Amino acid sequence: MNREYKTLMVTGGAGFMGSNFIRYAFRTAGFKGRILNVDKLTYAGDKENLADLASESETGRYRLLQHDICDHEAMSRIVRDERVDGIVNFAAESHVDRSIAAAQAFGATNVLGTLTLLEAARAAWGDRRDVLFHQISTDEVYGSCPEPREFAEDDRYEPSSPYAASKAAADHMVRSFGVTHGFPYAITHATNNYGPYQTPEKLIPLVLTRLYAQETIPVYGKGDNVREWLFVDDHTSAVWTVITRGKAGESYNIGSGERLTNLDLIHGLGREVAARTGRAPDFFKALMKFVVDRPGHDKRYALNAEKLRRRLGWKPAVSFDQGLKATVAWYGQNEAWMARARTRLGNWLKAEGTAWAKRRS
């Protein structure tokens, strides 16, 4: 089956993965309908991330609506009055360290916000089954994955951080609407994404901003935690595949199989920045500083993404080597974007930063 949408509501579309998804929909997938980007514009959201969609804005095919997804009245009105026929829920508090410092916002946006969207959609959609609610979830809901296993979709949830627990709770809410009401949904669990427009509190952009500025790079513990890295365009193409051709009521893992320790990752980024800037190949080693490990830090993530490959024919198109080079180049060429993102983070720290977050900054 091929699902088509007239009006897609993308929440959190001013953030890293959501903005890449919206751009892909118009520029790569050839989407002919409208996209409503519902975003609260927290410290993580920047409307300039989609400044290149000026022509779609002029024709009304792209609109940014600044709202909190916990706002029941606004969400209900938008889904009903704008005749939304698909929702892709990217909006979230997304940074694990912040959830350790202060978890309440994670409960609000990730759990209550998802529930608010589900209720708004169910009220507007009734018994319609030609619509879809797509929940963007994470590999972190499964918890740490022991060697040499890979987690599949039917593995049990064992979230370690308040962030992962809030995402797990949201998934349970989505699935419960499917079981209880026959509500049409899909869920995708992705591994760590990287690429352009990622806020420099996450590992790769954090390391890159520090490397370019020649500042200290904090490394948790021994740097031996393993993450599976997925280029953001591959995540986007996977989500597009699922919302157009996936089966309602199913969940799919999205992974690349490219697994690295944090130390190997930082070394790779350092060598690439050195090559681009003409610095000594190991200049980055003097910047690295091992810091106290993150409490509850999952040791390893590893997903089995065979279901998505076998059933829907999706596979990643960008190797880690290609993605890393493209990402290092993008951050090197977008200094103004980086400066703005760092200012937003700094402002947040001044206004709301907790002792833990300040220690890490």
Ligand X SMILES: NC(=O)c1ccc[n+]([C@@H]2O[C@H](COP(=O)([O-])OP(=O)(O)OC[C@H]3O[C@@H](n4cnc5c(N)ncnc54)[C@H](O)[C@@H]3O)[C@@H](O)[C@H]2O)c1
The residues assigned a catalytic role are 139-140, 163
Tokens at 170, concatenated:
């949201």
Q: Binding to ligand X (CB under 6 A): which residues in 87-146? A: 90-94, 109, 113, 136, 138
Phi and psi for 343 in degrees, rounded to 5?
-65, -45
Whether residue 189 contacts residue 175, with contact meaning beta carbons closer than 8 Å, is answered with no
Whether residue 20 contacts residue 260, with contact meaning beta carbons closer than 8 Å, is answered with no
Helices (H) and strands (E) in the chain, counts: 14, 12
Single-letter amino acid, residue 296? G
Q: Specify the residue for token string 């993008």.
A: 330
Q: Which residue from 134, 167, 210, 259 is in contact with ligand X, where contact means CB under 6 A? A: 167
Whether residue 319 contacts residue 233, with contact meaning beta carbons closer than 8 Å, is answered with no
What are the distances in angstroms from CA 154 to CA 180, 184, 189, 245?
Answer: 20, 19, 12, 20
Q: How far apart are CA 304 and CA 263, in angstroms?
A: 23
Residue (15 or 184) nearer to ligand X, CB: 15
- Closest approach of Cβ 53 to ligand X, in Å? 15
Give the length of the chain: 361
Closest residue by beta carbon to ligand X: 15
- Closest approach of Cβ 106 to ligand X, in Å? 10
Segment interacting with ligand X, rule: CB under 6 A, options 38-46, 145-153, 301-309, 337-345: 38-46
Segment interacting with ligand X, rule: CB under 6 A, options 186-194, 264-272, 281-289, 328-336: 186-194
Q: Which residue from 53, 190, 324, 357 is in contact with ligand X, where contact means CB under 6 A? A: 190
Segment interacting with ligand X, rule: CB under 6 A, options 9-17, 54-62, 179-187, 300-308: 9-17
Q: Which residue from 8, 9, 16, 219 is in contact with ligand X, where contact means CB under 6 A? A: 16
Phi and psi for 312 in degrees, rounded to 5?
-120, 0
Q: Contact between 22 and ligand X (CB under 6 A)?
A: no
Q: Contact between 39 and ligand X (CB under 6 A)?
A: yes
Whether residue 357 contacts residue 238, with contact meaning beta carbons closer than 8 Å, is answered with no
Q: Contact between 17 and ligand X (CB under 6 A)?
A: yes
- Closest approach of Cβ 163 to ligand X, in Å? 7
Binding residues for ligand X, total number by CB under 6 A:
30
Q: What is the binding site for ligand X (CB under 6 A)?
A: 11-12, 14-18, 39-42, 44-45, 68-70, 90-94, 109, 113, 136, 138, 167, 190, 192-193, 199
